[in-house]
């Protein structure tokens, strides 16, 4: 798929969700590109998975921030590749462990993986919101509906 076509489809996928994350965090090796940085030379020109750049472009256009979480032991090579691919400015931060929704992508980021990630984010968000409401009801001092029904 051409980058623009992937971007358009990613925009359509995002349009199917009422709630979107404010930040999407990507790994690098075998997520955005099909290799480990430490097995490459800075002199090489890296390539990305076919759908990766279109998805990044769609997220940027939608105003969703992106960050990188990578355990690569060769961050200098990773940074060089980000520069060579002209995608470094798309990322607002490099992060480590955070409480985030994450999915494993076996063959790089694809539109299917993108949809799965947004689905799991929505499910996690809804579950968190339900738990917040249960907690508010339990500790707010107001009687619950089951307590008022007893009268």
Q: Number of folded domains in the chain?
A: 1
Least confident among 40-49, 102-111, 112-121: 102-111
- Could you tell me if residue 26 is inside a domain? yes
- Could you tell me if residue 101 is inside a domain? yes
DSSP 8-state symbol, 26 = E
Range of the domain at 90: 3-136
- CA–CA dist 131, 148 (Å, integer): 21
pLDDT above 70: residue 1: no
- Could you tell me if residue 142 is inside a domain? no
pTM for the full predicted model: 0.67
pLDDT above 70: residue 95: no
- Could you tell me if residue 151 is inside a domain? no
Read off the CATH number of the domain in which 127 is found: 3.40.50.1000
- Could you tell me if residue 146 is inside a domain? no
What average pLDDT does the segment 106-126 reach?
85
- CA–CA dist 74, 121 (Å, integer): 30
Average pLDDT, the chain: 83
pLDDT above 70: residue 128: no
- Could you tell me if residue 128 is inside a domain? yes
List pLDDT tens digits, range 22-55: 989 898 999 999 999 889 999 999 999 999 999 9
- Could you tell me if residue 144 is inside a domain? no
- Of the candidates 105, 109, 128, 92, the residue with the CA atom closest to the CA atom of residue 19: 128
- Could you tell me if residue 12 is inside a domain? yes
pLDDT above 70: residue 134: no
- CA–CA dist 88, 81 (Å, integer): 9
């Amino acid at each position: 798929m051409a980058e623009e076509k992937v971007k358009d489809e990613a925009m359509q996928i995002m349009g199917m969700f009422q709630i979107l994350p404010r930040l999407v965090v990507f790994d690098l090796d075998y997520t955005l590109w099909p290799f480990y940085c430490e097995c490459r030379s800075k002199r090489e020109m890296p390539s990305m998975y076919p759908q990766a750049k279109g998805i990044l472009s769609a997220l940027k256009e939608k105003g969703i921030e992106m960050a990188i979480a990578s355990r690569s032991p060769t961050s200098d090579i990773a940074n060089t590749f980000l520069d060579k691919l002209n995608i470094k400015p798309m990322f607002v931060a490099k992060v480590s462990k955070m409480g985030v929704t994450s999915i494993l992508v076996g063959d790089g980021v694809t539109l299917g993986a993108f949809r799965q990630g947004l689905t799991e984010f929505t499910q996690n968000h809804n579950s968190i919101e339900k738990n917040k409401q249960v907690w508010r009801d339990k500790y707010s001092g107001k009687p619950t509906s089951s307590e008022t029904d007893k009268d």
